[in-house]
Amino acid sequence: MLSIVRLLKHLRRFVLVVALGVIAYWGCIYWRNHRFDSAIAEAARRYSLDPALIRAVIWQESRFDPDARGRAGELGLMQVREVAAREWAKAEHIKNIDRNDCLDPATNLLAGSYYLKNASRHYGHADDPIPYALAEYNAGRGNVLKWLTGTASTNSAAFVSQIGFPGTKMYVTSILNRRDYYRR
């Protein structure tokens, strides 16, 4: 009888530790995904973008790691390159921006959102400019221009099917799906 009581006591402790571990895990996931909410909202407001889209790009680019670094010199949450950050800074009349500024979450979100908004303006004639802008964000404008043939020049679904790089096609599709998930 005594050993059953001890066993139940250990089992109760075990269940408590597991439950606390699960709560801590989901708390960390929630914190990781929401600690930049106010900066995302500010970038979305400033550049008239869907916050769910910005959040989806961040998920795809860095999994919400503000210190992420890409192989080609991309930095931060939205994996902004220094050239893109300088373009943003010039447009916003900000002087003396450097590579390290790209790791500041607020700066990175503003520069990345600016770049995404500018890219979307190139495709205002399309039914949905966002897939085009995402492809440009990932593969560059020159590649997007190559894929704008036939109905793909105005039909975003046709455009996505014509993207010539499998990685970029997966990138665009993944972000659009994640955006829809974040909208729920």
Report the amino acid identity of residue 97.
Answer: I
User: Out of 42, 61, 74, 92, which one is annotated catalytic?
Assistant: 61
Q: Comparing C-alpha atoms, which of 33, 37, 31, 39 is closest to residue 106?
A: 39
92 assigned to active site: no
Q: Is residue 60 a contact partner of residue 68, using CB atoms and an 8 Å limit?
A: no
Which residues are identified as catalytic?
61
